[in-house]
Structure 1
Amino acid sequence: MALASLTEPRAATRERWWLWPLALWLVSRLVSTAFLGAFAGRQEANAWTPAGPDLLDYSTMWDAHWYFIVAMSGYPTELPLDETGHVGENAWAFMPVYPMLARVLMLTGLPWEGAAVLLSVAASLAFALVAYRLFAELAPGRERFALALVLLSPLAPVLQLGYAEALFLLLLAGTLLAWRLREWEWLWVLIPIMALTRPGGLALALALGLWFLLRWFRARDAFPVRERWMLVGLGAWSTLWGFGWLIACTIATGSLTSYLETELSWRSAYVGRQELVPLTPWPIGLEWWFGAWWPLWLAGIVALAIALLVGPWARAVGIEGRLWVIAYLLYLAAVWFPQSSTWRLLMPVFPLAAILAAVRPAWARAMLLAACVALQPVWIWFCWHVDGRDWTVP
């Protein structure tokens, strides 16, 4: 298998195809950097920075400090307990690939802040190139506008912060592109790295399983036996790595519930300590946010997701991208408690941009893109910028 299959357009190969994604990436980083710099100058002293921090310090607040702890100290074998005797917030909630790579960069003499941001910026550039290729495969003709929507989206500043999102999106885009091109060897390599960067292994296993069923019932005769077994193997591989971090946490701490208890500690500030029952976090969370109106909100969210993924505008987008989005949304529905971090957790549904890129006419496209850019400072202000006892976690 040639590396070129994942780095060059397969159909109608164009010279210097990378210029478009490179230009879009550069413009997007200038926009996000300008917004972040403006807010950094107005940042008051907080738990992570002094007043008016420089851009690097401002870009490594919040959970970036947990990644710093992992990079410098690793993971605890004894979990901290809160005053009620439950497991408290700790480093096991943050997977190892991003902080370990940043630690490697620190060997060059870079401080943590510089290494973390450099890693995210480099990953975001690579993501722009791979995502452009993915969009060209999923929805030919829409790749430029789709990539612009992603790189200038309201959450685009995250792509250069001390978080693992840029690296995860790069690995996810590579995984989806390998799937689309049937470059199975790449999946065996990318899945473990992706699953140890951000949670995604279980969602990918579900997406592959849905694709298997779709092909089985639609055209079984055109579904080669070798490919069936390949998908079964990859689904099992993705499932294994989807539980990989839970297994590692269990071995290190000696407790089967340690990882789950760690994750639940973050939502206890909202609804107290509760057991995780799949598919209940969203009803519980929406009731906490909106009271008796929560069923209407839930119905609206489900209706919007169905409309985006099943409507006629979605049919021109490759099935792999749509199945991934469906599987990932089902994964979030099963385990995620909705709060201010939800917007960031939705970044992996970026293939939806290929559907939104179908919008016409030109003025509507311009308005959509302008809205994306205008919402960047809104997200920074409400989620990233620290304002006293700030509970709007990014």
Structure 2
Amino acid sequence: MPRSDDGRPGRTVRAALRRATPALLAYAGTRLVGLVVLAIWGAVADKSPHQLLAARWDSLWYSRIAEEGYGYTLRLADGSIHSNLAFFPLLPTLERVISAISPLDAADAGLAVSWVTSLFAAWGIFAVGDLLYGRRVGTVLAALWGVLPVGIVQSMAYSESLFTALAAWGVYAALTRQWLWAGVLAALAGLTRPVGAAVVAALWVAAAVELLPEGRWRRAWRTHPRLLAGVVLAPLGWLGYVAWVGFETGSVTGYFDVQNGWGNGFDGGLAFAGFIGGMLLGPSFPAGLALLAGVAALLWLYARGVRQRQPLPLLAYCGSVLVLALSAKGYFGSKPRLLIPAFPLLLPLALALARQRPVRTALVLGSVGLASALYGAFWLHGSGPP
């Protein structure tokens, strides 16, 4: 966190919050528009916005884990096996704790976690943008994250908001050499989603940048004990859960076997490439062409970040999220959601918008935000999961 004049933690947090207030208000405004549009659409379609946000698709699996624990398995007619061991434990643990100490049930506790942590995520995203390019860029970056086409997921009882909050602050801690915080946050991110490995990558790259020059690693145990502690802590969340699933299933590859049962896993992007190719060769050619253009745009944004010389830890984090999302097989319609944590991809856009006049920037963000809200409402009223 940034330091205040007297260095006291309380004043440090208050000063950082005051600096981030415009970004948080802009972000909250985007999410409020999304929720209002969803409520209006739901009223017309005679569907409950609350159920769409808190009690459908993955949110049902999380709340079941919170209420009953792990061990539930669903066998489908096609022979596939869906085990709740595929879902990492931090969100359902928070749901269980909150529902135990409050009037909220597990589903509403998940919704509360998502809404609160989405603000912390926006704050962390602002902090990264502010650190690198200044307050205005940080504010635009947080607002852009809120107006993503699938931004409505940030307001659902899903784990994306919780993970992005931990990831953004973990990357910020790595960039500012707060090694123990970076390690703890990376470990927690690893207990939230499989892509927690990306936060570990950011910390390890930051550590390498710190220790490799001039052979500093030779005396790191003496000169950088906090850094080494953070490096060791970082992967424990992800490794710990994967190891536990292996123990529960009686197989070293237990977690990956569970993912295969869902049709998930990683194949280097072959299945996704085949999916796009099939669309391009069939009647869905326009949709396939749009999807191919979207992938090209993502790669262009990442390359743009490299050309702008973004810090290596940030590039390592963003690149890892991008690779893991694009190389995953199955549930191709969910790939936009898997990319929600890849907020550094928005930095080139934030830099360009921040150079515009404030009125023009506000008009662009407002227009995109309204389009995002409409798309989010349309998406959630569809049959498939986001």
SS class of match (1:200): helix
Structure 2 counterpart of 1:285? 275
My pick for the range that moved more, 125-134 or 291-300, is 291-300
1:266 aligns with 2:244: no
Shift of 1:342: 0.7
The AA in structure 1 aligned to 2:267 is: V
Structure 1's 178 and 121: CA in aligned 2 closer, same or farther, altered over 3 A?
same
Structure 1 counterpart of 2:238? 242
Listed one character per residue, the Cα deviations across residues 84-129 of structure 1 (whole Å, up to 9, x for unaligned) are 655x112112111111111211121212333221121111122222
Shift of 1:146: 1.1
- Identity among equivalent positions (%) equals 22
Structure 1's 40 and 266: CA in aligned 2 closer, same or farther, altered over 3 A?
farther
For structure 2, list consecutive stretches of 5 or more residues without a partner in the other structure. none
Shift of 1:237: 4.5
Listed one character per residue, the Cα deviations across residues 258-303 of structure 1 (whole Å, up to 9, x for unaligned) are 42233233338xxxxxx85344333233234434889988975665
Report if aligned partners of 1:202, 1:331 keep a CA contact under 8 Å in 2.
no
Please, which of 312, 320, 325 is the counterpart of residue 318 of structure 2?
325
Structure 1: distance between partners of 2:17 and 2:182: 27
Structure 1 counterpart of 2:26? 24
Listed one character per residue, the Cα deviations across residues 134-177 of structure 1 (whole Å, up to 9, x for unaligned) are 22112224111111111232222222211111111111111011
Listed one character per residue, the Cα deviations across residues 177-211 of structure 1 (whole Å, up to 9, x for unaligned) are 11011000112211221111112232234444555
Shift of 1:244: 3.2
Structure 1 counterpart of 2:142? 147
Shift of 1:42: 3.5
My pick for the range that moved more, 175-184 or 224-233, is 224-233
Report if aligned partners of 1:149, 1:369 keep a CA contact under 8 Å in 2.
no
My pick for the range that moved more, 167-176 or 316-325, is 316-325
Shift of 1:34: 0.5
SS class of match (1:267): coil
Shift of 1:365: 7.0
Report if aligned partners of 1:147, 1:353 keep a CA contact under 8 Å in 2.
no
Report if aligned partners of 1:281, 1:333 keep a CA contact under 8 Å in 2.
no
Matches within 5 A, 1:329-368: 329-337=322-330, 339-359=332-352, 360-362=355-357, 363=360, 366-367=363-364
Matches within 5 A, 1:1-394: 16-43=18-45, 51-53=46-48, 55-60=49-54, 61-76=56-71, 79-82=73-76, 86=80, 88-107=81-100, 108-141=102-135, 142-210=137-205, 220-221=213-214, 225-226=219-220, 234=230, 237-267=233-263, 277-291=267-281, 303-311=296-304, 315=308, 317-337=310-330, 339-359=332-352, 360-362=355-357, 363=360, 366-367=363-364, 370-382=367-379, 384-386=380-382, 390=383, 392-394=384-386
Structure 2 counterpart of 1:271? none
Structure 1's 301 and 228: CA in aligned 2 closer, same or farther, altered over 3 A?
farther
Structure 2: distance between partners of 1:288 and 1:37: 36
Report if aligned partners of 2:117, 2:165 keep a CA contact under 8 Å in 1.
yes
Structure 1: distance between partners of 2:186 and 2:241: 13
Structure 2: distance between partners of 1:296 and 1:377: 23
Structure 1's 214 and 301: CA in aligned 2 closer, same or farther, altered over 3 A?
farther
For structure 1, list consecutive stretches of 5 or more residues without a partner in the other structure. 44-50, 269-274
Q: How large is the Cα RMSD of the aligned pairs?
A: 3.6
More helix by share: 2
Shift of 1:306: 4.1
Structure 2: distance between partners of 1:93 and 1:291: 33
TM-score (normalised: structure 2) = 0.81
Structure 1's 232 and 307: CA in aligned 2 closer, same or farther, altered over 3 A?
farther
My pick for the range that moved more, 320-329 or 331-340, is 331-340
The AA in structure 1 aligned to 2:41 is: F
Structure 1: distance between partners of 2:314 and 2:78: 44
SS class of match (1:154): coil
